[in-house]
Structure 1
Amino acid sequence: MGRNNAYWFALPAVALLGLFLLYPFLDVLRFSTWDWSGLSEPKVIGLENYRNILRDPDFYNSLRITLIFGVMTLIPFVILSILLALALDGQPYERPIKALLFLPGLVTLGGATVAWYTLFSPEYGALASVLPVPRWDQSPFWALVLIMLFTIWRHIGYGVLVVSARLKAIPKTLLEAAAVDGATASQAFRYITLPLLRPAITFLVVIGTVLTLQGYTAVFLLTRGGPFGGTEVLGYYLYKTGFEVGRLGYAAALTVIILLLTLAFALAQARLLREEK
């Protein structure tokens, strides 16, 4: 009887999950089988949108840019999160610094991008009057670097908090015993701290990959996919296809493929990086 009551208590949460997640996803699946602009009468074409995507060079170019952006962003994000958490651990100024690092994530995304554009504009930016700012508005590489730095700046505080929480859970007696046995600080980090940080690192890698594959807003507000399409990640390509070109059925199929890619990457990374039992 107790288990049946638990099912009834869980029913509202399950119903909300189905209403706001499952039903919209099923709707997207239905739209992905249409040739539809949003204004015209939808025409059912089956899997034709998916076949066209697999032959679409623009899709593969956006996927390539997304993967490059993901590698450029994910590796520095994880390494900086670990290094900053280690540097701040146990320091008297640990909490104020963590609060400052977390602050950019609390600023509205629109306001943050306007501030960055004003600061890093090669023509009239505040930094341009002091330092030489690369012409990221004319170079796809430097535009990706700008988006990468903005993304890390926005989320580094969260990464540091995740690693720091895991650091606090490591028993100090293990490190003290290693020091008594003659282990150096680098050996203690390599053989004790780093293996025990693997769950936090796994979490950051998976979350970072999801954010990268679904990234769109920073690209839209800072570069609009430019210059020369050099920052047209999958999220922005999806937006452009659906709302600028007016191919909502095709965009729905892109949504399904991006979702499957995100799930595949996240599961593969979790499997490779998870803690050995």
Structure 2
Amino acid sequence: MPEPTAAPALAATRPAPAARPRRPRAETVAAYGLLAPNFGLLAVFVLVPLAGALLVSLQRTNGFGDGEFIGLGNYTRLVQDPVFWQALATTAGFTVVVTALSMALGLGLAVLMNSVLPARGLFRSVLILPMAVSGVATALIGVLVFDQNNGILDKLITAVGLPSVNWQSEPVPAFATIVLVTIWWRTGFNMLIYLAGLQGIGPDLHEAARLDGANAWQRFRHVTLPLLGPSSFFLVVLNVIYSFQVFDIVFVLTGGGPRNATNVLVTYAYDTGFVTRDQGYAAALGMVLLLLAAVFAVVQWRASRTRDLVE
């Protein structure tokens, strides 16, 4: 027999060649190149102003000249400010009422528009028409309707013999005006998102549930609603964040009055920063508002079990 050669042993002990560094793929380079302008705009128009607002919130300044650094003094003042707590409570109440009602109405209208209703296209166009109108224009329409002196609604109420309502000078009616106008403005968008979700649900699921003996309500409760989880998650986050940032409708309709009854966090920050010129304190209000919105988004993301539910 021939003797075994030592070549395999030498090959086993020979060091492996050094791995060449991987070059980035052309697709990755192209992707970063396409994203770079967006990240640049995000940094210039969001991150840099955000850092500036944080810096201003640590100062006592009126916007002119150099501010005086006071650390967390503005945030300590927030805790002791009764107007801030009132504005926070008003913002929270406004958020809960508007989000719940606008989403419920949007879901109901989406179910109706997804049915065999005649002239559905026309009704859909009418319902989403407020989406094409700006917030200021929507608020001006609300003024035409709810003005306590010359408003259309007040004239209709007095025409049927009912007493007029002080829409702008009483706290509860004033709060009701901003809620009603906001719901009218936002329901169409909620309906559109829910309608897209409904049209993505296959009819075979409802047919299978019907064959199993489920009635219309049971099919809606146990089939439709769970599959609309991603749409509901998206709308809850979007509606809550918008409600915390509402400004134009409140500013035009009531200006935050009467007696701060409709004063939300953004209108309070605006008055503080641009009327009384206490811009350091206004920046602190803005940072608190940002923190509340971010905390809610994170909590909602972690708590929602249906955000990724698909058919």
Shift of 1:51: 1.5
Structure 1, residues 222-263: CA drift from partner, whole Å, max 9, x if none?
001111110001111111111111100111111111000011
Shift of 1:73: 0.9
AA aligned to 1:85 is: A
2:48 aligns with: 23
AA aligned to 2:103 is: V
Distance (Å, rounded) in 2 between the aligned partners of 1:263 and 1:194: 26
TM-score, normalising length: structure 1 = 0.95
1:218 is aligned, of 249, 255, 271, to 249
2:5 aligns with: none
1:206 is aligned, of 214, 228, 237, to 237
AA aligned to 1:248 is: Q
Residues 35 and 44 in structure 1, CA contact (< 8 A), matched pair in contact too: yes
Residues 138 and 249 in structure 2, CA contact (< 8 A), matched pair in contact too: no
Distance (Å, rounded) in 1 between the aligned partners of 2:59 and 2:227: 49
Shift of 1:198: 1.3
Same amino acid, percent of matched pairs:
35
Computing the radius of gyration over CA atoms, which structure comes out larger, 1 or 2? Answer: 2
Structure with the larger helix share: 1
Shift of 1:40: 4.4
Aligned length: 277
Distance (Å, rounded) in 2 between the aligned partners of 1:124 and 1:239: 28
Shift of 1:115: 2.1
Residues 202 and 274 in structure 1, CA contact (< 8 A), matched pair in contact too: no
Shift of 1:67: 0.8
Shift of 1:162: 0.2
Structure 1, residues 38-87: CA drift from partner, whole Å, max 9, x if none?
12431111221112112222111110111111112111111111111011
Check if 1:44 corresponds to 2:69.
yes
1:191 aligns with: 222
Shift of 1:122: 2.2
Please list, as runs of the form range in 1=range in 2, the aligned pairs for 1:132-147 lying within 5 A after superposition. 132=162, 133-147=164-178
Moved more, 136-145 or 245-254: 136-145
Check if 1:35 corresponds to 2:60.
yes
Aligned partner of residue 229 in structure 1, secondary structure: coil
Residues 154 and 165 in structure 2, CA contact (< 8 A), matched pair in contact too: no
Aligned partner of residue 99 in structure 2, secondary structure: helix
Aligned partner of residue 130 in structure 1, secondary structure: helix
1:87 aligns with: 112
AA aligned to 2:207 is: E
Aligned partner of residue 260 in structure 2, secondary structure: coil
Please list, as runs of the form range in 1=range in 2, the aligned pairs for 1:5-16 lying within 5 A after superposition. 5-16=30-41
Check if 1:68 corresponds to 2:99.
no
Moved more, 183-192 or 120-129: 120-129
2:127 aligns with: 101
Distance (Å, rounded) in 1 between the aligned partners of 2:77 and 2:155: 48
> Where does the alignment leave 5 or more consecutive residues of structure 2 unmatched?
1-23
Distance (Å, rounded) in 2 between the aligned partners of 1:212 and 1:231: 13
Residues 167 and 177 in structure 2, CA contact (< 8 A), matched pair in contact too: yes
